[in-house]
Structure 1
Amino acid sequence: MNLLLAEDDALLSDALSAQLREAGFQVEHAPNGAVAEYLLLKQPYDLAVLDLGLPMVDGLTVLRRVRAAKPGLPVLVLTALDSLDDRVAGLNAGADDYLTKPFDFPELEARLRALLRRSKPVSSASEMGPLSFDRDTRRATLRSEPLELSPREWMLLDLLLTQREKVVTKEQINQVWATDRAGGASEGGAGGNNAIEVYIHRLRRKLEGSGLVIRTVRGLGYLLEAEAVVA
């Protein structure tokens, strides 16, 4: 169980890290928001414990950015901010649970284990109609034929499949692309809305005739769905 602890209080972070390791967690510590955001976007954690009062980048900003890129990551907010407005803001930003300081470690551990039980890991393989997509081998097939995808096309299709019942926003796409700067650089540099539209167009062409379409939801983003069959 890999856990990121984002906490700027050195004494508290040292004590918590030791207790969490004794409880069976593998803990990595981020002392500020910038490091927390970088690690959460780059590394595969099972869950995160995030203080809101982080220096450099505040915890709510980190939470919003990470939630956009990794919607399935369980996040517990741990903070001294205990007003109703603070709790509502944290939950609205994407927190799965909210624990105020001071707290007892057994309660923190119980809440973390409850989050792990509720979380459903994404399978390494996905299928949708004639499309098969395996994240472990980085292979995709369409009607059993290999589907050639560039790194950005791969990440975009992965996000659309993972969120197949939800609209994927341009912010989410840019956040995912930002985790693979090397791949993005090899395809022409920065992202942005114009780049997203180009890659959406490319994916649409590659999916033509498959019965799968990428629908534009005006003002929101994109949705991968099965094409409606007209009787």
Structure 2
Amino acid sequence: MATILIVEDEIPINELIKRNLQSVGHRCISAFDGMEAMDEFAQQEIDLVLLDIMLPEIDGFEVFQQIQGTPTIFLTARSSLSDKVKGLTLGADDYLVKPFEMLELLARVEALLRRTNKEKRNFELDGVEIDFKSRQVFLHKNLVECTPREFDLLEVLVNNRNIALSRDKLLELAWGYDYMGDTRTVDVHIQKLRKKLKLESRIKTVYKMGYRLEV
């Protein structure tokens, strides 16, 4: 679990981001202008900042210059190349243009937390322990042999826990954009994971859509 500061002045967007990040286990703090962001940053340890550029009081670029050293993703409607270059040249870790898919944001957050060693690389649930660094899975301390694709699918489910994922999205995230097979292969791999890891009650089928790891 990471502590993430969300600096976004549009309340519905701020709340949507917060709910999704909390659903996968992160602790979130909301700020709605640059000055409030600076106050929150001064009061507690922050692992990652999601930072809009066009903010009241102090803009995102100025806020970032005050908090450099903290992993930061700019989230902004400013899509020009000059803005992207400025944000990345200042030292931001990533730059995501609105509107964006929430799953893409979650993936970028997890990737950045991994790169900066801010995210715990183990996950435990109902006797299942996953070591993401070694790509090993244990059930009640006993090693469970998983194929590389089964592990990839399991990692996607864990990183997006409590979120319903369509079969097409699971194919995209676990198999890759260029995979040419059909969605039935997802069903086969899900059944294998459920059986191997005794997660029948946790990996839920979402009617006419796909699956969700319920935590």
Amino acid at match of 1:56: E
What is aligned with 2:109?
112
Unaligned runs of 5+ in 1: 122-231
How far 1:41 moved relative to its partner? 3.1
CA shift digits 1:187-212 (9 cap, x unpaired): xxxxxxxxxxxxxxxxxxxxxxxxxx
Distance 1:26 1:98 in 2: 21
How far 1:48 moved relative to its partner? 0.8
Distance 1:96 1:85 in 2: 16
Amino acid at match of 1:52: I
Distance 1:39 1:106 in 2: 26
Q: Secondary structure at the match of 1:62?
A: helix
Identity of aligned residues (%): 39
Is 1:25–2:26 an aligned residue pair? yes
| Inter-CA distance 106–32: structure 2 relative to 1 (3 Å threshold) | same
Is 1:98–2:98 an aligned residue pair? no
Runs of 4+ in 1 over 3 A off after TM superposition: none
Is 1:83–2:85 an aligned residue pair? no
Amino acid at match of 2:102: F
Distance 2:82 2:44 in 1: 31
Q: How does 1:32-47 map to 2 (within 5 A)?
A: 32-47=33-48
Q: Is the 8 A contact 1:5 1:48 kept in 2?
A: yes
Q: Secondary structure at the match of 1:77?
A: strand
Distance 2:4 2:14 in 1: 13
**What value does the CA root-mean-square deviation take over the aligned residues?**
1.1
CA shift digits 1:165-220 (9 cap, x unpaired): xxxxxxxxxxxxxxxxxxxxxxxxxxxxxxxxxxxxxxxxxxxxxxxxxxxxxxxx
CA shift digits 1:1-49 (9 cap, x unpaired): 1100000001111111111111211110001000112212331111110
What is aligned with 1:4?
5
Distance 1:79 1:41 in 2: 23
Unaligned runs of 5+ in 2: 119-215
Q: Secondary structure at the match of 1:52?
A: coil
Q: Is the 8 A contact 1:2 1:47 kept in 2?
A: yes
Distance 2:3 2:49 in 1: 9
Q: How does 1:123-134 map to 2 (within 5 A)?
A: none
Q: Secondary structure at the match of 1:108?
A: helix
Q: Secondary structure at the match of 1:76?
A: strand
How far 1:79 moved relative to its partner? 0.2
Is 1:15–2:16 an aligned residue pair? yes
Distance 2:36 2:3 in 1: 16
The count of aligned residue pairs is 117
Q: Is the 8 A contact 1:41 1:66 kept in 2?
A: no
Amino acid at match of 2:13: L
Moved more, 112-121 or 46-55: 112-121
Distance 2:39 2:89 in 1: 22
Distance 1:52 1:88 in 2: 13
Q: Secondary structure at the match of 1:8?
A: coil
CA shift digits 1:84-128 (9 cap, x unpaired): 00001111222100000000000000000000011046xxxxxxx
